Amino acid sequence: MVIVSWFKDLRKSDPAAVGTLLAFLSSLKGWMLDLLACSDPSFPTKDSPLPYAELARTYRKMRNEANNLFQSIESCALLKEYTSNLNFEADMLSVDDAINFTSKLLLPSEPDFSLDSDKIVLNNIESAKQGLLSTSGYLKCVQNNLHVTVSSLVASAVVWMAGLPSKLNPVILPLMAAVKREQEEILQDKAADALAELIFSCVGRKPGPNDKLTKNLCTLTCTDASETPQAAVINSIQVIEDQNLLSIGKRFSNHKSRGQMTSGGESKSEGFISRRGSELAFKHLCEKFGASLFEKLPKLWDCLTEFLKPVKTGDDLMKEDPSIAQLGRSCEDKEPQSLINNIQVVCGPISWAIQK
C-alpha cells in the first residue's frame, strides 16, 4: 500500500521522477511480477513451500488436527487398511490435502461394531474428522480472501509504477478478482482505481484488454439481485410498486442508503460486493477520461445503448415512431432481463454523480 500511494502521488506531481526511480527499482518490480505469477493461494511466494505468515498458527492447528485424526485411524483395526495406502505427511499438509483426506474418509456405521469401546473410538474419529473439515474449510476461505487482497495490492503497485508488462493477465486477474470479491470497500476501491488506470494506459494498445474488461464490468454491475430487478419475478404492478421501479429518484436514494447500511457489520452478498466493485471502477473511469470516456472506450457506449436508442421528443412523442417499434421488436427477440441489465449499467455511474 505504501508503494501504491508513493508512485500514485509521483505520477500526479512529478511524472519524470517515476522513470528515474524505476531505473533503481527494476528488481523490485521484477519481484512483484514473480509474486503475481504465484496464483496458488497456498504457495504465495516463488520457490517457497511456505504459506502466508499471517496464517501460520491456523496451519499448525490444522496439521495437528490432521495428525491426531491419522493416529486415531491407525489405532482402529477396521480402518488400518485405509492408512496403509496413504502417503501422509502432516508437516507438509496443505489445505486441499486436508480437505481431500477427510472427504475421502468413509467411516463404517455403528452396527458394524459389537463393542461399546469400538463405538466410542468411532465417534471420536468422526468428531476429529468434522473438526479438521471445519478448520481446513475456514483456513481455505481466509487464505483465498487474503490472497485476493495481497495480489490486488501488488498488481496495483505494478500499475502505478508505470511500464506495464507485455503479458497483462497476471496483473489484470488479481485486480478483477478484488473488484469482484474484495469485502473491504477501501481495498476494493484501490483495486478499482488501479484497474481504471490500467484501462486508461491501454487505450490504443493492439491487441488490448479494454473491450473485454469493459464488458466484464458491465456484467458485474448487474449481479446484485437486491439492486437489479429480476424480470422473472416482476409479474404484477404490486411488485413494481414494492420495489420502487417507477421512481428513479427513490431508486438512487435506496442505492445509496443500501450501500451505507450494508457497509456496517452485516454480511455482504457476493452480488452486492461485485456490483459495488464494478461501480467503483466506473467511477474512476469517469474521473480519468472525463468527456472523452465514450470516445476512448467505445465498447462502454455499445453496452450502455444495446437496448436504449435515441427517439424524437416534443409534440409528436405520442405518434408512432419507427425507431421505438424497431426497439420493441429487438427486445422481444431477447429476454426482458437484458433490457433491465442495460438500464442498470446506466444507473451505476449516474448514482455516483448524484452522490458526489
Give the tens place of pLDDT for each residue, 4-48. 887 778 777 777 776 677 677 778 888 999 999 999 999 999 989
Identify the band that residue 310 occupies on the pLDDT scale cut at 50, 70 and 90.
low
Query: Residue 28's pLDDT is what?
Result: 85
Cα 241 to its chain centre, rounded Å, is 32
Query: Residue 56's pLDDT is what?
Result: 95
At 51, phi and psi to the nearest 5?
Answer: -80, -175
* Position with higher pLDDT, 279 vs 352: 279
Least confident of 178-182, 255-259, 316-320: 255-259
Query: Residue 26's pLDDT is what?
Result: 76
Residues 6+ apart with CB under 8 A from 314: none
Q: What is the mean pLDDT of residues 189-215?
A: 95
Whether 320 has a pLDDT exceeding 80, the answer reads no
Instruction: Report helix, strand or coil for 35.
Output: helix
Query: Residue 278's pLDDT is what?
Result: 95
Q: What is the mean pLDDT of residues 147-153?
A: 97
pLDDT, the chain, mean: 81
Query: Residue 344's pLDDT is what?
Result: 84
Identify the band that residue 261 occupies on the pLDDT scale cut at 50, 70 and 90.
very low
Whether 264 has a pLDDT exceeding 50, the answer reads no
Q: What is the mean pLDDT of residues 287-300?
A: 92
- pLDDT, tens digit (0-9, with 9 covering 90-100), for 58-111: 999 999 999 999 888 888 777 766 666 677 788 889 999 999 988 888 777 665
C-alpha cell at 180: 469482484
Query: Residue 314's pLDDT is what?
Result: 56
- Distance between the two ends of the chain, CA-based, in angstroms? 25
Query: Residue 263's pLDDT is what?
Result: 42
Least confident of 157-171, 319-333, 342-356: 319-333
Angle of helix 95-103 versus helix 116-160 axis, rounded to 10: 150
Q: What is the mean pLDDT of residues 276-287?
A: 94
Q: What is the mean pLDDT of residues 197-207?
A: 94
Buried b (16+ CB within 10 A) or exposed e, 57-72: ebbebbbebbbbbbeb
- pLDDT, tens digit (0-9, with 9 covering 90-100), for 272-281: 999 999 999 9
Q: What is the mean pLDDT of residues 146-164?
A: 93
